[in-house]
Amino acid sequence: MKIAKLTLPLTLLIVSLALLGCPKKPPQSAPEAAPVAPAPQAPTTDVQADARPDTGADQVQVDPLSDPDLANLNSHVRDRGLLGDVYFDFDRAELKAEARERLSRNADFLKSRPEFLVTVEGHCDERGTNEYNLALGDRRATATRDYLVSLGVAASRIKIISYGEERPVCRDSNEGCWWQNRRSHFVVTGRTGG
Amino acid sequence: MTANRPPQRLKAGRAPGAALLLLALAAALGAQQASSPAPTPVATPPAATAPDQVTLVLQPGDRPLLRLAFPALATGNQQLAGEAGIAARELESALRADLDASGIFTIQGPAELSPLQLTGETAHDFEQYRSLGNEVVLLGELKLEGDRLVLEGRIFDLPSGQAILGKRYRGTFDLARRIAHTFADEILLHFTGRRGVALTSIAFYSDRDGEKEIYLMDYDGRNQRRITAHRSISMSPAWSPSGDAVAYVSFFAGSGPAIYLADIASGLKRPVVTSGSLNTSPTFSPDGRRIAFARSLGSNIEIFVCDRDGSSLRQLTYSSGIDTNPAWSPSGREIAFTSSRGTGRPQIYVMDAEGSNLRRITFSGDYNDGAAWSPDGTRLAYSSRQPGGQFAIAVSDLVSLASRLLVAGNGNHESPSFSPDGRRVAFASTLRGRTQIHVVGAEGGEPRPLTTDGNNYAPDWSGYPPQ
Phi (first) and psi of residue A102, to 5 degrees:
-65, -40
Confidence of residue B64 (pLDDT cuts 50, 70, 90): low
DSSP E strands, B79-121: 105-108
Bigger pLDDT: A87 vs B104: A87
Together in a domain, A24 and A75: no
Residue A59 lies in a domain: no
Nearest to B236 among A131, A139, A141 (CB): A131
Confidence of residue B213 (pLDDT cuts 50, 70, 90): very high
Confidence of residue A193 (pLDDT cuts 50, 70, 90): confident
Looking at the complex, does the CB of residue A163 fall below 8 Å from at least one CB of chain B?
yes
Number of CB atoms found within 10 A of residue B275's CB: 12
Task: Identify whether the C-beta of residue B403 lies closer than 8 Å to the C-beta of residue B394.
Answer: yes
Residue A57 lies in a domain: no
Mean pLDDT of chain A, nearest integer: 78
- What is the reported pLDDT for B38? 34
User: Are the beta carbons of A132 and B415 separated by less than 8 Å?
Assistant: no
Q: Is B446 a residue whose pLDDT tops 70?
A: yes
Which residue of chain A is at minimal alpha-carbon distance from B415? Answer: A129
Concatenated DSSP letters for B261-281?
EEETTT--EEEEE--SS-EEE
Bigger pLDDT: A24 vs A87: A87
Task: Identify whether the C-beta of residue B335 lies closer than 8 Å to the C-beta of residue B328.
Answer: yes
CA-CA-CA-CA dihedral for B330, B331, B333, B334, to nearest 10: -30
Confidence of residue B343 (pLDDT cuts 50, 70, 90): confident
- What is the reported pLDDT for A6? 46
- What is the reported pLDDT for A194? 58
Confidence of residue B426 (pLDDT cuts 50, 70, 90): very high
Number of CB atoms found within 10 A of residue B283's CB: 27
Confidence of residue B26 (pLDDT cuts 50, 70, 90): very low
Concatenated DSSP letters for B167-187?
EEEEEEGGGHHHHHHHHHHHH
Cβ contacts below 8 Å, chain A against chain B, sum to: 90
Q: Is B239 left (phi over 0), alpha (psi -120 to 50) or beta?
A: beta
CATH code of the domain covering residue A77: 3.30.1330.60
CATH code assigned to B202-461:
2.120.10.30
- What is the reported pLDDT for A59? 54
Number of CB atoms found within 10 A of residue B48's CB: 4
Interface probe for B, chosen from A1, A134, A139, A163 (most Cβ of B below 10 Å), is: A134
Q: Does domain B8-192 have CATH number 3.40.50.10070?
A: yes
As annotated, the residues of chain B forming the CATH 2.120.10.30 domain(s) are 202-461
- What is the reported pLDDT for B142? 96
Nearest to A166 among B233, B281, B391 (CB): B233
Q: Which residue from A142, A130, A127 is spatially nearest to A184, judged by alpha carbons?
A: A142
Q: Is B2 a residue whose pLDDT tops 60?
A: no
Q: Which stretches of B166-317 are DSSP H helices?
A: 176-192
Residue A58 lies in a domain: no
Residues of B within 8 A of A138 (CB-CB) are: 277-278, 296, 301
Together in a domain, A108 and A165: yes
Average pLDDT over every residue of B190-212: 96
Average pLDDT over every residue of A144-173: 95
Task: Identify whether the C-beta of residue B394 lies closer than 8 Å to the C-beta of residue B406.
Answer: yes
Looking at the complex, does the CB of residue A134 fall below 8 Å from at least one CB of chain B?
yes
CA-CA-CA-CA dihedral for A70, A73, A75, A80, to nearest 10: -150
Together in a domain, A174 and A86: yes
- What is the reported pLDDT for B78? 79
Distance from CA of B414 to the nearest CA of A (A): 7
Helix (H, G, I), strand (E, B) or coil at B40: coil
Together in a domain, A113 and A23: no
Residue A164 lies in a domain: yes
- What is the reported pLDDT for B223? 96
The tally of domains found in chain A comes to 2
Nearest to B338 among A91, A132, A142 (CB): A132
As annotated, the residues of chain B forming the CATH 3.40.50.10070 domain(s) are 8-192
Residue A142 lies in a domain: yes
Looking only at the bridges linking them, the beta strands covering B66-69 and B136-145 are parallel
Phi (first) and psi of residue A47, to 5 degrees:
-60, -45
CA A84, A85, A89: angle at the middle one, nearest 5?
145
Bigger pLDDT: B30 vs B251: B251
Residues of B within 8 A of A117 (CB-CB) are: none
Share of chain A above pLDDT 70, in %: 68
State the Cα–Cα distance between residues B238 and B269, nearest whole angstrom. Answer: 14
Q: Is B21 a residue whose pLDDT tops 50?
A: no
Residue A152 lies in a domain: yes
Residue A71 lies in a domain: yes
User: Are the beta carbons of A163 and B251 separated by less than 8 Å?
Assistant: yes
Q: Is B396 a residue whose pLDDT tops 90?
A: yes
Bigger pLDDT: B21 vs B158: B158
Comparing A11-15, B44-48, B194-198, the range with the smallest average pLDDT is: B44-48
Confidence of residue A53 (pLDDT cuts 50, 70, 90): very low
Kindly give, in sequence order, each residue whose CB lies less than 8 Å from that of residue B391, ignoring residues fewer than 6 positions away: A129, B367, B383, B384, B385, B412, B413, B414
- What is the reported pLDDT for A61? 64
pLDDT tens digits, B9-20: 333 333 333 344
Q: E strand or H helix at B28, and its extent?
A: helix B26-29
Q: Is B258 a residue whose pLDDT tops 60?
A: yes
User: Are the beta carbons of B370 and A138 separated by less than 8 Å?
Assistant: no
Together in a domain, A1 and A86: no
The model's pTM is 0.81
Confidence of residue A163 (pLDDT cuts 50, 70, 90): very high
Concatenated DSSP letters for chain A?
-HHHHHHHHHHHHHHHHHHHHS-SS--SSHHHHSTTTTTTHHHHHHHHHHHS-SSS--SSSPPGGG-S-HHHHHHHHHHTTTT--EE--TT--PPPHHHHHHHHHHHHHHHHSTTEEEEEEEE--SSS-HHHHHHHHHHHHHHHHHHHHHTT--GGGEEEEEEETSS-S---SSHHHHHHHSEEEEEEEEETT-
User: Are the beta carbons of B280 and A131 separated by less than 8 Å?
Assistant: yes
Average pLDDT over every residue of B406-416: 96
State the Cα–Cα distance between residues B380 and B361, nearest whole angstrom. Answer: 9
- What is the reported pLDDT for A16? 44
pLDDT tens digits, A172-188: 888 999 999 999 999 99
Kindly give, in sequence order, each residue whose CB lies less than 8 Å from that of residue B375, ignoring residues fewer than 6 positions away: B330, B418, B419, B420, B421, B422
Q: Is B323 a residue whose pLDDT tops 80?
A: yes
Task: Identify whether the C-beta of residue B229 lies closer than 8 Å to the C-beta of residue B218.
Answer: no
What residue numbers bound the domain in which A100 lies?
64-194
Helix (H, G, I), strand (E, B) or coil at B323: strand
- What is the reported pLDDT for B81? 87
- What is the reported pLDDT for A24? 40
Phi (first) and psi of residue A93, to 5 degrees:
-125, 10
Looking at the complex, does the CB of residue A61 fall below 8 Å from at least one CB of chain B?
no
Average pLDDT over every residue of B154-174: 95
Which residue of chain A is at minimal alpha-carbon distance from B434? Answer: A173
Together in a domain, A79 and A46: no
User: Are the beta carbons of B458 and A146 separated by less than 8 Å?
Assistant: no
Which residue of chain A is at minimal alpha-carbon distance from B338? Answer: A132
Residues of B within 8 A of A146 (CB-CB) are: 299
Interface probe for B, chosen from A94, A119, A124, A166 (most Cβ of B below 10 Å), is: A166
- What is the reported pLDDT for A57? 47
- The most distant pair of C-alpha atoms in chain A lies apart, rounded to whole Å, by 59
- What is the reported pLDDT for A165? 95
Q: Which amino acid is at B244?
A: D
Distance from CA of A132 to the nearest CA of B (A): 7
Confidence of residue B62 (pLDDT cuts 50, 70, 90): low
Together in a domain, A33 and A79: no
Q: Which amino acid is at A156?
A: S
Partners of A193 in the β-ladder:
none
